[in-house]
Amino acid sequence: MTTASATALDAVGRFTTAFDAKDVDAVMAAMTPDCVFEDTTPPDGRRHVGAQEVRAAWEALFASSPGAVFETEEMFAAGDRVVARWRYTFAGGHVRGVDVFTVRDGRVAGKLSYVKG
């Protein structure tokens, strides 16, 4: 594994730990100030740009489904990119999807989310 791939996996690991704890401050600390998050809102997702918009998206997600759980099924890196396949379980069922992360300077700069079905 290259150093860039190891660094990227470490950065996404910190992000994931904070995300699983629903700790918005720690999630944002794991992201760059100019971060981008594209959610899974149909049909093409909603794009959130910058720390303020991304923070608001996390706060809304965690508030809307406080008991929901993300389970990472597989994760791998290629340079500064990380791909994570996941299952999101919530009160009414579950969905499966994929995130494509971009890491810069040891922090998540981008998270593009895609969902099946």
Closest CA to 66 of 89, 94, 45: 89
How is the chain split into domains, by residue range?
3-115
**pLDDT category of residue 89 using cuts at 50, 70 and 90:** very high
- Rounded Cα distance between 77 and 90, Å, is 27
The predicted-structure confidence for 8-53, as pLDDT tens digits, reads as follows 999 999 999 999 999 999 999 999 999 999 999 999 999 999 999 9
**What is the SS3 assignment for 38?**
strand
The pLDDT, as a whole number, for residue 49 is 98
pTM greater than 0.85 (yes/no): yes
> CATH class for domain 3-115?
alpha beta
Chain centroid to CA 1: 22
H/E run at residue 97: strand 93-104
**pLDDT category of residue 2 using cuts at 50, 70 and 90:** confident
Torsion, Cα 20 25 31 34, to 10 degrees, reads 140
- Asked if 23 and 115 count as a contact pair (C-beta separation under 8 A), the reply is no
- Rounded Cα distance between 71 and 84, Å, is 10
